[in-house]
Amino acid sequence: MAREEFAGAAPRTTLASGIDNTALSFNVASGTGYPTGTHPFVLTIDRGTPTEEKVLAASRSGNTFTITTRGYDGTVAQAHDAGAYVEHTVSAAKLDELDGYVNSAGTGDVTSPSGSKVRTIANNAVTTGKITDGAVTLAKMADAAGDGLVLGRLTSGSGDWEALTLAALAAALTLESTDLSDFNEAVADVLGAFAGFGGAGLTFTYDDAGNTLSLVVNVDGATIEIDTDTLRVKDAGIVEAKIADGAVSRAKVKAEAWTAFTPSLSQNGAVTATVTHAHYEQAGKTVRGTVFFSVTGTGSAGQEIRAALPVAAAAPVGTVVGSCIIDDTGTNAYIGVAILQASGTVRFATHLGGVAGANPNFALASGDFVRYNFEYEAA
């Protein structure tokens, strides 16, 4: 029988208007506390009178009930007047179902012990299909009957697992000896069958009389070597051809220490300046660094300002290799780029469109600053 919904706080109410014997919905004075239709529920109209009728309701919305069955639970569908009492009740069919469940002995996998109303799993009811894979842990298995036992089966054919002793296993495996030296010789004899196996890179040799096995690993000696029976990559053995394209990430490249250098500064002749900072690093052919001059001398107005690089560049003259800031103290500050003037020298193009010193036209003087950074390919 299907589930029914019950509510414990559903006070008796009355029909708001009369209904005939076919109506499948009706309104009551108040539906507060009644079920709402999670499952069907039973209502009784005019209980205890000649016109008593039970109905099976599907749902309630406010004070309106929707009915699925009139004349339910052995009663007869009848007309009812406005003001007839409506009550939330239990059907005889439901009570009979519950009584049958409580007083039955159970069937199949579920049963009740004699004289008990408590349901339990029947003996031998848990078959293979009832157990989830992996559900039986070692803790769920019965304790072993003693020490030195192995779970298995020696009896021919299928059947229950058996607790096997080590002696029974040894007999089944037909071990001829328990002497370790005999075992080692048997293994060596098997390995001896591989004598000559391998080829140019790997060779087995076996002396049956002496029970000795030799394994010879042949290496090229250029990329791989054997040192005190240890196979290892030879120093400087990883050449360019052995490295796959794209295999070397930036993290694999060893960071080089910064190197200090003393660059020169000129404007149609050397300009005296203090090198506040001048460092570079070279990783492979990539050179990068920064320079900071504090000018103490004087340059020549109308002439390009030039400065030195630490390593000759591979790029052609006119290539941009960095950025710059030139501070003409008290007049202006120029931002621009460092451009190759020669393989080891840069000049500075400013944001005004010309080359610093010539256009805009000014002479370096004490108190001025020249800063530039660079990154380029070494020649």
Give the pLDDT of residue 297: 96
Tell me the mean pLDDT in the region 278-296. 96
- Cα(67)–Cα(40) distance, integer angstroms: 9
H/E segment holding residue 185:
helix 180-192
**Lowest mean pLDDT: which of 107-111, 186-190, 289-293?**
186-190
Give the pLDDT of residue 163: 83
Give the number of other Cβ atoms within 10 Å of residue 261's Cβ.
Answer: 15
Outline where DSSP puts E strands in 284-377: 286-295, 306-308, 320-328, 332-342, 345-350, 369-377
Residue 226: partners with Cβ closer than 8 Å, 6 or more residues away: 217, 219, 232
- Residue 349's pLDDT band, with cuts at 50, 70 and 90, is very high
φ, ψ for residue 45 (rounded to 5)? -110, 135
Give the number of other Cβ atoms within 10 Å of residue 158's Cβ.
Answer: 6
Residue 324: partners with Cβ closer than 8 Å, 6 or more residues away: 334, 335, 336, 337, 338, 348, 356, 370, 371, 372, 373
Asked which of 90, 118, 141 is the last residue of a domain, the reply is 90
Residue 159: partners with Cβ closer than 8 Å, 6 or more residues away: 153
**86 within some domain:** yes
**Lowest mean pLDDT: which of 43-52, 206-215, 290-299?**
206-215
- Residue 293's pLDDT band, with cuts at 50, 70 and 90, is very high
- Give the rounded percent of residues in the chain with a pLDDT score beyond 90: 54
H/E segment holding residue 71:
strand 64-72
Instruction: Give the residues across from 346 on adjacent strands.
Output: 307, 340
- Cα(374)–Cα(152) distance, integer angstroms: 77
Give the number of other Cβ atoms within 10 Å of residue 311's Cβ.
Answer: 19
**305 within some domain:** yes
Give the pLDDT of residue 103: 73
Give whole-number Cα distances, 3 to 38, 69, 183, 337, in Å: 10, 15, 72, 85
Q: Would the pLDDT of 2 be above 60?
A: yes
Its pTM surpasses 0.75:
no
Tell me the mean pLDDT in the region 4-20. 95
**134 within some domain:** no
Residue 217: partners with Cβ closer than 8 Å, 6 or more residues away: 201, 202, 226, 231
Identify which has the larger pLDDT, 87 or 137.
87
Asked which of 90, 120, 140 is the last residue of a domain, the reply is 90
Asked which of 68, 90, 112 is the last residue of a domain, the reply is 90
Contact 16, 63 (CB under 8 A): yes
**35 within some domain:** yes
Q: Would the pLDDT of 43 be above 80?
A: yes
Per-residue pLDDT tens over the stretch 48-64? 999 999 999 999 999 99
Q: Which domain holds residue 62?
A: 13-90
Angle 27-33-38 (CA atoms, 0-180°, nearest 5)? 85
Q: Mean pLDDT over all residues of the chain?
A: 86
Per-residue pLDDT tens over the stretch 20-33? 999 999 999 999 99
Give the pLDDT of residue 213: 65
Give the pLDDT of residue 154: 86
Total number of domains constituting the chain:
2
**69 within some domain:** yes
Per-residue pLDDT tens over the stretch 227-244? 766 778 878 878 888 888
Encoding tokens for residue 311? 């390593």
Give the pLDDT of residue 358: 95
CATH of the domain at 282: 2.60.90
Give the number of other Cβ atoms within 10 Å of residue 141's Cβ.
Answer: 9
Tell me the mean pLDDT in the region 164-182. 70
Give the pLDDT of residue 55: 98
**220 within some domain:** no
- Residue 164's pLDDT band, with cuts at 50, 70 and 90, is confident
